[in-house]
Amino acid sequence: MPGQLTLNDGSTIPQIGLGVWQVDPDVTSQVVRWGIEAGYRLIDTAEGYRNEEGVGEAIRAAGVPRSELFITSKLRNGGHQRDAALRAF
């Protein structure tokens, strides 16, 4: 797999990740497990994709330490106000 990117705080994230936009929630867990098996360590999801549950299932089942995985997610467009963002979290 490609290298790492260094963030402003000194932490690193994988340069390439597995995105799950438009992955059917019924197969998300399997797709993400395959991705982790293939070496992906960055998984990109979002509340609006409606498949975050499958991402979580795959992470739990993967057998890879959580500290080795970097998960990104996004709020829905209407959820960026402070109170709405806190509720979403």
Q: Are 47 and 75 in contact (CB under 8 A)?
A: yes
- Please give the torsion angle defined by the CA atoms of residues 73, 78, 80 and 84, in that order, rounded to the nearest 10 degrees: -100
Q: What is the set of active-site residues?
A: 49
